[in-house]
Structure 1
Amino acid sequence: MSDTVVNRSAGTPPNGAEPTPGIKAIRLRHPWRNVFAVVLLLLVALFVIDAAQRPAYDWPSVGKFLFDQRISQAAFVTLQLTVYSMVIAIILGVTLAVMRLSPNPVVNSIAWIYLWVFRGTPVYVQLTFWGLVGTIYQTIDIGLPFTEPWASYPTRVAMSAFVLAIIGLALNEAAYMAEIVRAGLLAVDSGQEEAATALGMSWAQTMTRVVIPQSMRVIIPPAGNEVISMLKTTSLVTAIPFTLELYTRSRDISAVTFNPVPLLIVASIWYLFFTSILMVGQYFLEKRFARGIGDRRPDRKADEATGALTGIVPVVGGGQATVVLPPKMPENPPNNNNNNNGDVR
C-alpha cells in the first residue's frame, strides 16, 4: 500500500469549467523508525566508546605502524597484485564470454570446462597448486613438440612468486568475469544488433557502438564488486607462498611484536582506504553509463485547458508510480457568448 495521503484542494480553472482538485502528497509519519534509528546510534556510540577504552586494541601502536614503511610498501604491492590480476582477468574473461556465446560446440565446450574447473575449486587451493608448479614442471621449454627445445629455463627462475600470484588470481577471476560479461551481452536486446546491421554497420562497429555501451550498465556493478573482492583476495597469496602483500606483512610484524590486534587494524584501515577509492570510481562509472536510464523525472507540466498537473507522480513507499489522469470535461459545457457562430470551444 502507499505511504502517502492525498490532500485535494479546489482550484479555479479557466473558461468556467468545473473546479479541478489539486493534488498534494503528504508523507505519513513513522515514529518507530525514528526510535529504531536512535537505538542504532546509541549502540554504535557504545561500541566506539568501549573500543576507545579497551587496551587490547592498543591505539598508540595503530598510529605507530599505520604509515610504517614496511606497511606502506606492502600496501603498494597489494595494489599492484589487484591491478595486474584484474587487467588479465578482464581480457581473458571477455574472450571466454565470446567463446561461450559461440555456435561452435568445441569452442563453447572448452570455455564451459574452464569455467567449471576454476569456479568449482577454491581459490586458496588453486594458489597452492600454482606454488607447486616449480615442483611439477622443473623447466619451461620453448620449441616444437616432440623435438629438442630451442631454449629451456628453470621454472623457479622464470616465474617468481609475484608472477605466480598474479597468474593464480587472474585465472580464477577470469572465470567470474566471463559470466559477468556474458550476462551483460545477453541483456542487450537482439533487435539492437539487427537494427545496427540494417544501418550497414559491421560486426565490430555494432559491438563497439551499440552492444557494448548498452551492456556496460549491466557489467559495471558486478565487475566493480569483483575488483573489490580481488583486492581482499590478495591476502590469500600466502599459499604460494608470497609474503610481501599487506596482510602477510602485517602478520609477520605482529609475530615480532607479539601484538597482533593493532596490526590487523592497520591492515584493515589500508584495505578500507583502497576499497573506498574503488567504490567512488565504480559510482561514477555507473552514473556515466546509466545516463538516460532510470532517471526520468515525472512530467509535472500543467494541462493547458484545466491547469491541473498531469503525468506520472511517484508515490512515496508505494514501489510504483501512480498515473494521474486529467479530469474529464463537462458533457454540456456552456456556450461562449463572444462566438457569433454559436460554436462550442
Structure 2
Amino acid sequence: MNYDWDWSIFLELSPDGIHTYLETVIMGAGWTLTLAGCAAAISLLAGSALAVMRTANSRGADAVATTYVEVFRNVPLLVQMFLWFFIFPEILPVSLGVLIKQMSQPWASFIPALLCLSFYGSARVGEQIRAGIQSLPRGQTQAALAVGLHEFEVYRYVILPQAFRVVIPPLTSELIGMVKYSSVALTIGLLELTGRARSMQEYSFHVFEAFSAATFIYLAINGTIALSMRALEGRVALPGLVGPATKGV
C-alpha cells in the first residue's frame, strides 16, 4: 500500500476555522477524560452501595440490587446509549423531556452518555466490590458485631476499607474500560476523542494520521491509569491479605 503520511495536517485549521486539527483532537481527549472520570466516580459510589445492599442482611435490598445489576450489566452498552438518548426524554413529563431535548451541544449528548456509562459501570463495579467483600474472612464481621458495632459501622470501618484494597486490580480494568467505553458516545453526537478523530479523517482524508493520534492518546491515558493504580495497590496493600505479586515463586 502506497500511503503518503503527512503529520503536518495536525497544524492545519479544522473546518471550524478556529482550531487546528491538533487542538480539536486534544479537545476530544478532554471530553473523553471528563466523561470517563465523572462516570467512574459515580460508578464507584453507586457500585459500593449496590455491593453493600447485596451482602447486607436484607432480602429486599438484595433483590433490588440484584435486579439492578442484572438489567444494566446484561444489556449491550450501545443499546443503553440509544435508550438514554432517544427514549428517556420521551418517558419523562413533557416539560422536562422538552427541556432535555433542547439542551445545546455538547451537553445534549454528554448528559445521556454520562447517565448511560454511570448506570452501566455501577452494575459492574458493584459486582466487583461484592466479590471483594465476600472474599474477606467472615470472622471479621462477627468480631466487629461482637464488640458493639452496628452493621453500617461494620461496613464503614471494617469491611469496605479492606474490600477496596482487594478489588483494586479489577477496578483498574474497569477504569481503563470506562475510558474505552466513552467512545460509544460518538454514536449520539458527542465529539470525544474517537469522534474527533473520525471527524478529522472525514474532512482531511488523513485517516491513518487521525486514528494513529487517537490510538497514542488512548495508550497514554490508560497506561497512566494502569501505572497509577499499580502504585496505589502497592501503597495500600494489607500484609498477609493482599500484596504485589512476587516473581519467581
TM-score range, shorter chain: 0.7 to 0.9
1:268 maps to 2:222: no
- Paired position in structure 2 for 1:292: 239
Q: TM-score, normalised by structure 2?
A: 0.83
Offset, 1:274: 0.8
Unaligned runs of 5+ in 2: 13-19
- Paired position in structure 2 for 1:124: 78
1:157 maps to 2:157: no
Whole-Å separation in 1 of the counterparts to 2:86 and 2:221? 31
Whole-Å separation in 1 of the counterparts to 2:172 and 2:27? 24
CA shift in 2, pair 1:141/1:108, >3 Å: farther
Q: 1:214 aligns with which of 118, 142, 162?
A: 162
CA shift in 2, pair 1:98/1:213, >3 Å: closer
Matching of residues 89-168 of structure 1 within 5 Å: 89-133=43-87, 136-137=90-91, 139=93, 154-157=99-102, 160-168=108-116
More helix by share: 2
- Paired position in structure 2 for 1:82: 36
Offset, 1:133: 2.9
Matching of residues 1-345 of structure 1 within 5 Å: 56=3, 58=5, 60-61=7-8, 64=11, 68-133=22-87, 136-137=90-91, 139=93, 154-157=99-102, 160-239=108-187, 241-293=188-240
Task: Please identify the structure whose Cα radius of gyration is greater.
Answer: 1
Deviations 1:33-53 (A, max 9, x none): xxxxxxxxxxxxxxxxxxxxx
Offset, 1:103: 3.6
- In the alignment, is the contact (CA less than 8 A) between 1:57 and 1:261 conserved in 2? no
The higher relative CO (CA closer than 8 Å, separation ≥ 6) is in 2
More strand by share: 1
Whole-Å separation in 2 of the counterparts to 1:134 and 1:98? 28
Q: TM-score, normalised by structure 1?
A: 0.62
Whole-Å separation in 2 of the counterparts to 1:188 and 1:138? 42
CA shift in 2, pair 1:105/1:271, >3 Å: same
Offset, 1:131: 1.5
Offset, 1:134: 5.8
Aligned to 1:250, what secondary structure does the other structure show?
helix
Aligned to 1:56, what secondary structure does the other structure show?
coil
- In the alignment, is the contact (CA less than 8 A) between 1:193 and 1:211 conserved in 2? yes
- In the alignment, is the contact (CA less than 8 A) between 1:57 and 1:262 conserved in 2? no
CA shift in 2, pair 1:251/1:196, >3 Å: same
Whole-Å separation in 2 of the counterparts to 1:59 and 1:290? 47
State the AA in 2 paired with 1:216: F
State the AA in 2 paired with 1:130: W
Aligned to 2:167, what secondary structure does the other structure show?
helix
